[in-house]
Amino acid sequence: MAPEAALAGDAPGPRYSGAVITDRIAGIVLARPTHWGFLAGLGVSAAFTVLFLVAVGYLFAVGVGIWGIDQPVAWAFAITNFVWWVGIGHAGTFISAFLLLLRQHWRTSINRFAEAMTIFAVAMAGLMPILHLGRPWFFYWLAPYPDVMNVWPQWRSPLVWDIFAIGTYIIVSIVFWYMGLLPDLATLRDRARTRGKQIAYGVFALGWRGEARHWHRYETAYLLLAGLATPLVISVHSVVSLDFSFGLVPGWHSTIFPPYFVAGALYSGFAMALVLAVPLRAAFGLRDFITERHLAKMGTLMLVTGLLVAYSYGVEVFSAYFGGDAHEIAIMEDRYTGAYAPVAWAVILCNVVIPQALWLGWVRRSALALFALGLVVLVGMWLERFLIIVQSLAHDFLPSSWHLFVPTFWDLATLAGSIGAFALMFLLFLRFLPAISMAELRKEAHHEPMHQ
């Protein structure tokens, strides 16, 4: 640690000193007046949240029959949304945990909001499987607890594994995120000028005072959490993929699913991170914290995971023919030529063809282009999950049972509503918590000045 570098950290003068970082970011939460665009966004997302609540209320009142699901397609939108949201929820932890282990210091300016994104996405995801139950008020029967029936969960079911995977994931994500927030909450407590805010932030800061020994244990724990969260991230979507590959439905029953799903998850996760980061830095003037460099790196990651996904598509088709199972082959042929072929080709377009633009440097550097690509990939990934789930079910072993799925208004309302609720939570997060980790930035500033 060179002394002059150290000086650059504190003494007033050079940009990005700890003081500047702190005041700029804390200012967003404490001082900055609410932007009209922010309010507009809040309004829209609130409206969609209401739609979500209506859809759920009607669902509970009448039953899952209000959706388009049928025999044989007993799973459709709800599970598609579930997988999609869980996938999006993967980028956050990946960025903050995995990149931390890899000493990717650039992550510091994006991990905080990425983690928030994770939590809200996983919250949405966690809701879906409960909503899709025929008798949602008995959802807790999936959890082991001593009851008057003396009956336990059926541990061989991937759905039970799901409960544990998703449950663990959301708890760990929240702990990880909150732990990262501790020092910043302390900062806000100390920067806050009104008693109310001081108390609010102070309570959650748990009396953090930046003592050296505390910092030491803090860093150890943080590193351990990162080390534990990384395999967790991989495991969660692997377990989710088992919901399908564990079944013997042709188009589901495949060993490639775990890696395939994890790649897809990160793919959509980075896409969502970009979709959130671009307007965020514009709206709150954080361009010099979340720089083109950050966006470009995320773009690169998106390209990599995108290629993995493309590879998986290829392997899926290949293994069907290579394996020679008539049912698998039939599924693949129907997927790209049958009733759902438009969806299949849309998936190829969104997830394979268009993202190749990321090879171009200027695309990776253009915030707008990345934003657009993010949206395209998000749509593509949703469609991919829809395709895997619905098309496979609609075309399984006995032709006599084949039947197409047609969504209803309530299917769409649930999807749109969940996006609205997600946006609402994220906007509120931006308003009340620092979107970028001040403590870590201070540390970074002190290590290497950030002008690249």
Partner 1 sequence: MTKQDPRQVFALMAEFAGPAALMDAARACRARYRDIDAYTPYPIEGLAEVLGFRRNGVPFWTLVGGIAGGGGAYFLQWYSAVIDYPINSGGRPLHSWPAFIPPTFELTVLGACLAAFLAMLLLNGLPRLNHPIFEAPDFDLATRNRFFLAIRATAPGFDVDEARALLAGLHPMRIVEVPA
Partner 2 sequence: MSRDPNDTDRAAHLRFWRSVEEAQGEVDPSADTIGLPTGRRDFMRLMGASIALAGLAGCSRPPLERIVPFRDGPQQQTYGKPIFYASAIARDGYGAGVLVECNMGRPTKIEGNPLHPASLGATDVFSQAAVLELWDPDRSQTVRAGGAIATWDASIAALQGRLRARPRGAGVRLLTETVTSPSLHAAIRALLGRYPEARWHQWQPVNRDNAYAGARLAYGTPLDTTYRFDRARVILSLDADFLDAMPGCVRYAHDFASTRAAHAPAERRSRLYVVESTPSLTGAAADHRVPLRARDVPAAAQAIAHALGAASDGPATAPVPAEWLQAVVADLSQSRGGCIVIAGERQPPHVHALAHAMNEHLGNVGGTVVHLPAAAAEVVDCTASLRELARDMHAGSVDTLLVLDANPVHTAPADLGFSDALTRVPFKLHLGLYEDETAAASDWHVPAAHALESWGDVVAFDGTCTLQQPCIAPLYGGRTPLELIAVATGDAQADARTLLTRYWSGRQPQDFDAFFDDALRRGVVPGTASAPQRPALRPFDVPPSTTPPGASLELVLTTDPRTGDGRHANNAWLQELPKPLTQLTWDNAALVSPALAQRLGLVNEDVVSLRVADRSLDAPVWITPGMPDGCVSLSLGYGRTRAGTVGSGRGANAYALRTVDAPWFVPGVSLVRTGRRYALASAQTHGRMEGRDIVRMVSVAQAAACTAQACGTPGYRDQRTLYDSPPFGPYAWAMSIDLSSCIGCAACTIACQAENNIPVVGKEEVRRGREMHWIRVDRYHEGSVQNPRTVFQPVPCMQCEHAPCEVVCPVEASVHDAQGINVQVYNRCVGTRFCSNNCPYKVRRFNFLQYSKDVPSLDAQRNPEVSVRMRGVMEKCNYCLQRITTARIAADREGRSLRDGEVVTACQAVCPTRAIVFGNLNDPQSEVNRRKNSPLDYALLAELNTRPRTTYLARVTNERHGA
Partner 3 sequence: MAQVFSRRFVLLIRLGLLAALLAVVAGATAYRTLARADAPEDAPIRQPIPFSHQHHVRDDGIDCRYCHASVETSSFAGIPPLSTCMTCHSQLFTDAPMLEPLRRAYAGATTLAWNRVHDLPDFVYFDHSIHVAKGVGCTTCHGAIDRMPLTRRVASLYMEWCLECHRAPERYLRPHDRVFDVDWRPPADQLAQGAALRRQYGLRTTRELTDCSTCHR
Interface residue list for partner 3 (CB under 8 A): 148-151, 189-190, 198-199, 202-203, 207
Question: Rounded to whole angstroms, how far apart are CA atoms 217 and 225?
Answer: 12
Part of the chain binding partner 1 (CB under 8 A), chosen from 72-80, 370-378, 427-435, 438-446: 438-446
Chain centroid offset of residue 179 CA: 19
Question: Which stretches of 324-366 are DSSP H helices?
Answer: 326-337, 341-348, 361-365
CA 445 to chain centre: 28
**Residue 49 near residue 417 (C-beta atoms within 8 A):** yes
Q: Are 234 and 262 in contact (CB under 8 A)?
A: yes
Place of tokens 């699901």: 69
Which is closer to partner 2, CB of 142 or CB of 304? 142
CB count in 10 Å sphere of residue 40: 10
Count Cβ atoms below 10 Å from residue 321 Cβ, excluding itself: 12
Whole-number minimum distance, CB 338 to partner 2, in Å?
11
- Nearest CB to partner 2, comparing residues 283 and 339: 339
Q: Is 15 in the site for partner 1 (CB under 8 A)?
A: no
Phi, psi (degrees; rounded to nearest 5) at 91: -60, -45
**Residue 36 or 195 with smaller CB distance to partner 1:** 195
Site string for partner 2, 333-352 (x = CB under 8 A): --------------------
SS3 of 358-423 = HHCHHHHHCHHHHHHHHHHHHHHHHHHHHHHHHHHHHCCCCHHHCCCCCCCHHHHHHHHHHHHHHH
Q: Choose the stretch contacting partner 1; rule: CB under 8 A; options: 11-19, 38-46, 126-134, 397-405.
A: 11-19
C-beta separation of 416 from 81 below 8 A: no
Residue 227 interacts with partner 2 (CB under 8 A): yes or no? no
Chosen residue from 45, 49, 118, 187 binding partner 1 by CB under 8 A: 187
User: Under the criterion CB under 8 A, does residue 61 sit at the interface with partner 2?
Assistant: yes
Residue 386 binds which entry of partner 3, partner 2, partner 1, none, with Cβ cut-offs from 5 to 8 Å by kind? none
Q: Which stretch binds partner 1 (CB under 8 A): 39-47, 229-237, 258-266, 276-284?
A: 229-237
Contact, 258 vs 312, CB < 8 A? Answer: no
Q: Is 207 left (phi over 0), alpha (psi -120 to 50) or beta?
A: left
Q: In the set 3, 4, 36, 135, which binds partner 2 (CB under 8 A)? A: 135
Contact 43/373 with Cβ under 8 angstroms?
no
Decide if residue 403 touches partner 2 (CB under 8 A). Answer: yes
Closest separation in Å from C-beta 38 to partner 1:
26
Could you say which of partner 3, partner 1, partner 2, none residue 33 binds, taking C-beta under 5 to 8 angstroms by partner kind? Answer: none
Q: Which stretch binds partner 1 (CB under 8 A): 49-57, 223-231, 290-298, 309-317?
A: 223-231
Measuring CA to CA, how many Å separate 372 from each of 40, 98, 271, 357, 363? 21, 26, 9, 11, 10
* Piece of the chain touching partner 2 by CB under 8 A; list 6-14, 147-155, 183-191, 298-306: 147-155
Q: In b/e form, how buried is each residue of 329-351, taking b as 16+ CB within 10 angstroms?
A: ebbbebbeebebeeebebbbebb
Interface with partner 2, residue 153, by CB under 8 A: yes
Binding of partner 1 by 22 (CB under 8 A): yes
In terms of residues, how long is the chain?
A: 452
For residue 67, give the 3-state DSSP assignment. coil
Binding mask 242-271 for partner 2 (x = CB under 8 A): -x--xxxx----------------------
- Identify the residue among 24, 112, 132, 364 touching partner 2 (CB under 8 A): 132
Residues 379-398 binding partner 1 (CB under 8 A) are none
Cβ atoms 18, 10 nearer than 8 A: yes
Q: Which is nearer to partner 1, 365 or 446 (CB)?
A: 446
When the beta carbons of 206 and 360 are compared against partner 1, the nearer one is 206
Q: Does 197 bind partner 1 (CB under 8 A)?
A: no
Four-point Cα dihedral 437, 443, 448, 451, nearest 10: 30
By beta-carbon proximity to partner 3, the closer residue of 203 and 224 is 203
Q: What do you get for the CA distance between the two ends of the chain, in Å?
A: 18
The residue ranges that bind partner 2 (CB under 8 A) are 58, 61-75, 129, 132-139, 141-142, 147-149, 151-154, 156-160, 163, 243, 246-249, 326, 330, 393, 396-404, 406-410
The residue ranges that bind partner 1 (CB under 8 A) are 1, 3, 6-7, 9-11, 17-19, 22-23, 144, 150-156, 158, 160-161, 164-165, 167-168, 171-172, 175-176, 179, 183, 186-187, 189-191, 202-203, 206-221, 224-225, 228-229, 231-232, 235, 239, 242, 439-440, 442-443, 446
